[in-house]
């Protein structure tokens, strides 16, 4: 789960890439970087932390890509995070990749290409990068056709998800390309800014970035496609590589994407409000008000409050904008959940409240919120969750590593809501159901959603990946990711 950005057409793209990375930081905080090209030299920069720590000065050129990383492979130490930051690149020909998703067969792909040699980093991006480089080397010239044919072969080699920005150059030409897997699990959009005779193209993970930069949205990149952009063109060139049925990750709408984004034309904010409204309709509570968990639960709480006619009570306040779920270790998550949320005692004392959040994964946050609310004098705490119970690992780019992590799962069964409520210490608990989730996200749109993390076994994932998912689940260990 990461954020990517590619910009082509300004005299100096580095400041624009940097601003874009800051707008994408909600998608990853465990590394950042950019690489630009000035027709003669490449200018790479990396940091093992957020874009605020990235020294991009001296990055010159009219084309470049950037990345903010959410770690789903490799180690969690500061040294490893810095080494595994993206974009990654190789030369002769020059290829750079900023990758969002997870290629779960990356180790076997890399081994096939390098043999016993080790790649520069531990990330799955190396599979995409090295495969593409290997294919391009077989062509006498770098052009749209050779890139397209290379990406077709790469698609046949890789298993998993990828929505990536590619920078490919030789002495005569340079290309910025958006590249998606056949199911397009992760989002990727194209934008354009025109002023006078200048045309600048953007390829990025969310259209909230385009809004933040004052850029016109052009299109969502289709599944299994390569999209080429060039300042001399009025439109992107879209070439289909291998298109299957779209299975967009439902957790993008639930948690990861910015509330200001639309994914495949579906507003993230509207989906969350819809789910909150349905929770109020199906699981009402006699309460004094609705408390949103900041900031992830706010839109759900808005929907719940509108439907229930209960007031919003700002009972929790966040000190910083860290996303606890995205921290590297359980110890970090526990510490952050305990220290980063303050209760406004005057708002909740003596009141029966409905505490609304997006999801319940490990239960770390909710246990701590409940304890703090009780100490502040809350009379009753009823929890409503905008997502069905999460019970299965994700193999497409969200770091839910093992089956042992989920509070809603016990061995090979899903716990009852009352049992979970007792574990987190609240008066009642209710989740959104699967039909409601699908209705609020899909509506009348012509795509499907990946819900593999909401099912036991391989159900809910794209059907053609069922065999692979079954093998990964068998390899699931308590201390590491199955694909590692």
Instruction: Find the catalytic residue in 2, 59, 123, 387.
Output: 2
Cβ proximity of 273 and 440 under 8 Å? no
The residues near 12 (Cβ < 8 Å, ≥ 6 apart) are 60, 61, 62
Helical packing angle, 364-375 and 417-424, nearest 10°: 60
Provide DSSP, 116-157.
TPPPSSSSTHHHHHHHHHHHHTTSSS-SHHHHHHHHHHHHHH
Q: How many other C-beta atoms are found inside a 10 Å radius of the C-beta of residue 173?
A: 12
Cβ proximity of 383 and 355 under 8 Å? yes
- Bin 418: left if φ > 0, else alpha if -120 < ψ < 50, else beta: alpha
DSSP state for residue 408 in the 8-state scheme: T
Provide DSSP, 31-97.
-EEEEEE-SS-EEEEEESS-GGG---TT--BSEEEEEE---SSS--SHHHHHHT-S-EEETTTEEEE
Please confirm, yes or no, whether 2 is among the known catalytic residues: yes
Tell me the two tokens of residue 169: 């150059």
Q: How, if at all, do strands 341-343 and 352-357 pair?
A: unpaired
The residues near 211 (Cβ < 8 Å, ≥ 6 apart) are 217, 260
Tell me the two tokens of residue 143: 């052009």
Tell me the two tokens of residue 429: 């608990």
DSSP state for residue 253 in the 8-state scheme: I
The residues near 429 (Cβ < 8 Å, ≥ 6 apart) are 382, 383, 384, 385, 417, 418, 420, 421
Q: How far is CA 134 from CA 94, 115, 168, in A?
A: 11, 14, 13
CA distance 114 to 21: 32
Q: How many other C-beta atoms are found inside a 10 Å radius of the C-beta of residue 281?
A: 13
Catalytic site residues? 2
């Amino acid at each position: 789960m990461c954020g990517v950005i590619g910009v082509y057409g300004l005299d100096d793209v580095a400041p624009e890439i940097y601003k874009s990375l800051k707008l994408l930081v909600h998608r990853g905080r465990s590394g950042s970087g950019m690489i630009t090209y000035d027709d003669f030299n490449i200018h790479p920069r990396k940091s093992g932390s957020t874009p605020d720590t990235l020294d991009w000065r001296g990055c010159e050129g009219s084309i470049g890509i950037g990345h903010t990383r959410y770690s789903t492979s490799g180690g969690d130490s500061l040294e490893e995070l810095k080494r595994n930051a993206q974009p990654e690149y190789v030369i002769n020909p020059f290829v750079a990749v900023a990758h969002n998703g997870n290629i779960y067969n990356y180790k076997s792909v890399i081994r096939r290409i390098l043999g016993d040699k080790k790649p520069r980093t531990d990330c799955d991006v190396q599979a995409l990068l090295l495969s593409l480089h290997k294919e391009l080397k077989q062509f006498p010239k770098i052009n749209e056709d050779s890139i397209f044919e290379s990406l077709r072969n790469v698609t046949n080699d890789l298993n998993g998800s990828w929505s990536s920005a590619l920078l490919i150059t030789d002495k005569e030409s340079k290309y910025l390309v958006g590249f998606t897997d056949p199911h397009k699990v992760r989002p990727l959009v194209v934008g354009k800014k025109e002023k006078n005779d200048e045309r600048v193209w953007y390829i990025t993970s969310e259209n909230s970035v385009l809004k933040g930069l004052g850029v016109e949205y052009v299109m969502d990149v289709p599944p299994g496609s390569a999209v080429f952009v060039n300042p001399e063109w009025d439109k992107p060139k879209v070439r289909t590589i291998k298109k299957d049925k779209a299975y967009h990750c439902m957790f993008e709408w639930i948690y990861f994407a910015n509330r200001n984004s639309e994914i495949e034309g579906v507003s993230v904010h509207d989906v969350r409000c819809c789910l909150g409204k349905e929770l109020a309709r199906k699981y009402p509570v006699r309460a004094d008000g609705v408390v949103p968990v900041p900031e992830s639960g706010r839109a759900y709480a808005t929907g719940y409050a509108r439907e229930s006619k209960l007031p919003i009570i700002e009972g929790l306040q966040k000190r910083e904008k860290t996303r606890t779920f995205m921290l590297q270790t359980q110890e970090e998550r526990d510490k952050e959940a305990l220290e980063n949320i303050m209760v406004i005692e005057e708002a909740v004392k003596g009141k029966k409240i409905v505490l609304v959040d997006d999801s319940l994964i490990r239960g770390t946050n909710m246990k701590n919120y409940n304890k703090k609310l009780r100490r502040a004098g809350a009379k009753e705490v009823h929890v409503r969750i905008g997502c069905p119970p999460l019970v299965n690992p994700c193999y497409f780019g969200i770091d839910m590593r093992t089956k042992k992590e989920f509070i809603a799962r016990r061995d090979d069964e899903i716990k009852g809501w009352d049992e979970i409520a007792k574990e987190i210490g609240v008066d009642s608990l209710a989740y959104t159901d699967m039909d409601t989730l699908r209705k609020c996200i899909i509506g009348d749109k012509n795509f499907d959603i990946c819900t593999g993390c909401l099912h036991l076994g391989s159900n809910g994932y794209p059907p053609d990946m069922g065999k692979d998912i079954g093998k990964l689940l068998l390899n699931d260990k308590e201390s590491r990711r199955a694909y590692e």
